[in-house]
Amino acid sequence: MIVALIDSGLGLLPTSAWLRRLRPELDLLLSLDPDGAHWGPKPEEWVIDRVVGAAEHAVDLGAEVVVLPCNTASVTALDHVRARLGDEIPVIGTVPAIKPAAAASRSVAIWATAATTASRYQADLIERFANGTAVVGVACHGLAEAIDLGDTDRAKQAIADAVARTPADCDGVVLGCTHYPLMAGEIADQLPAGVTLFDSAEAVAAQTLRRIDALGRDASGSGSVTVLLSGRPGELPAGAAAFEAGRLLG
């Protein structure tokens, strides 16, 4: 079975790596969009067209399941992708792990891109899932961009800046951009001891597997990894090799 994962850049790696660990026989189609990255600052209709087009192309190539391991794609285009692909193709979106973080923490910081931090979407998630826990948004300027380049030194600088702007009493940090788990070890090292990180990659992978099992189809495959770059056959960007998930999939 082919599972397509769609993101503008390397943010699809954490969920893809979890799928590889949990079901190594699945065939993965990794659809990146270097021509259009990054999606966060782009107009909503542009993002919808881009994501829907990538999903349709993936299905044309044989994908039976589509995953959007990207917060921007999920909030902007998830419903449109589902409407276009119909009920036969499961489409799984991504939501930042605010609910589990709020349940386990006294005070939570949500690290995200500047666009997401300022969005109505994140404010609505906090209102729905914080359950009275104090939550603050921290915009991580340049972190996703540095990760896409595989520039770990620049990423470490962006992490240090975010740590400096994270309230000292926060004991939970939500990694609200799917790129950020690729630097989870460095983030944990720079945050004070006792701070717990929360991300959604493993949960999204688990939900994907539940949806696959519910189909009742033969999900076996050869364990292949195919990469599309703005719709063209290609390879993972060189920067992916800077991260364990990228090396696992490469």
Residues identified as active-site: 70, 177
Rounded CA-CA distance 215/197 in Å is 33
At 88, is the secondary structure helix, strand, or coil?
A: coil
Length in residues, the chain: 250
Nearest-angstrom CA–CA distance, 9 and 81: 19
Q: What are phi and psi of 220, to 5 degrees?
A: -70, 160
What lies within 8 Å, CB to CB, of 203 at 6+ separation is 97
Which residues, 6 or more positions from 182, have their beta carbon under 8 angstroms from its beta carbon? 10, 13, 14, 147, 243, 245, 246
Torsion over CA of 76, 78, 79 and 83, rounded to 10 degrees?
130
CA separation for the pair 100, 175 (Å, rounded): 12
Number of helices (H), then strands (E), belonging to the chain: the values are: 11, 10
